[in-house]
């Protein structure tokens, strides 16, 4: 890494390295090893998304359209699951939490996260050849069991969570 020390203090450099994990040699090493052997422990978010997709398909009859869609213009904007519920296009945010978490997954989808999701969903809809007549936003919370609680995951599905203005289209 090249740093212009005349314009950057040591503390600012440390903050910049920490705020951008792609610069960390440990981050690069971990990704290189994952490429060789795969992750040692399944990612809780990926596992939660799989549980949510399976549950929505089996229990609610949804169909997966796409997973982990990222806005090509801004890779930070991601939609966990895009599903169809009949003629309705459903955008799903999945929050995976350990049992007894201080902040429930539903409440983790705060105003800031909703703004990001609104932008991502607008971008997704703009790229569709035929825009659906109806779409909505759901939140699925996956509660992972704690030690000694068995292997049962709990699924909480919040359908039609307010995200868009009333006459948005």
pLDDT of 47-75, one tens digit each? 889 989 999 999 999 999 999 999 888 88
Query: Which one of 9, 25, 40 terminates a domain?
Result: 40
Count of C-beta atoms within a 10 Å radius of residue 109: 19
The answer to whether residue 87 sits within a structural domain is: yes
Same domain, 76 and 129: yes
Domain count, the chain: 2
Is residue 34 located within the same domain as residue 49? no
Among 78, 79, 83, 80, which residue's Cα sits nearest to residue 58?
Answer: 83
Within this chain, do residues 65 and 122 fall inside the same structural domain, yes or no? yes
Per-residue pLDDT of 99-109, as tens digits, reads: 777 788 888 89
Q: Identify the sign of the CA torsion 20, 26, 30, 35.
A: positive
| 26 DSSP 8-state letter | H
- H helices, E strands: number in the chain: 5, 5
pTM: 0.71
pLDDT at 5 (0 to 100): 35
**Residue 27 lies in domain:** 1-40
């Amino acid at each position: 890494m090249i740093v212009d020390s005349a314009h950057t203090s040591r503390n600012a450099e440390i903050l910049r390295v920490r705020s951008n994990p792609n610069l960390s040699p440990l981050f690069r090493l971990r990704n290189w090893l994952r490429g060789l052997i795969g992750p040692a422990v399944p990612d809780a978010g990926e596992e939660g998304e799989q549980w949510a997709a399976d549950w929505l398909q089996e229990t609610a009859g949804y169909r997966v359209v796409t997973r982990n869609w990222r806005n090509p213009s801004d890779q930070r904007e991601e939609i966990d699951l895009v599903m169809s519920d009949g003629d309705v296009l459903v955008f799903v945010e999945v929050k995976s939490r350990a049992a007894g978490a201080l902040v429930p997954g539903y409440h983790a989808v705060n105003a800031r996260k909703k703004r990001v999701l609104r932008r991502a969903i607008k971008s997704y809809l703009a790229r569709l050849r035929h825009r659906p007549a109806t779409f909505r936003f759901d939140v699925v919370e996956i509660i992972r069991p704690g030690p000694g609680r068995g292997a049962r995951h709990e699924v909480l599905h919040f359908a039609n969570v307010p995200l868009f203005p009333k006459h948005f289209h």
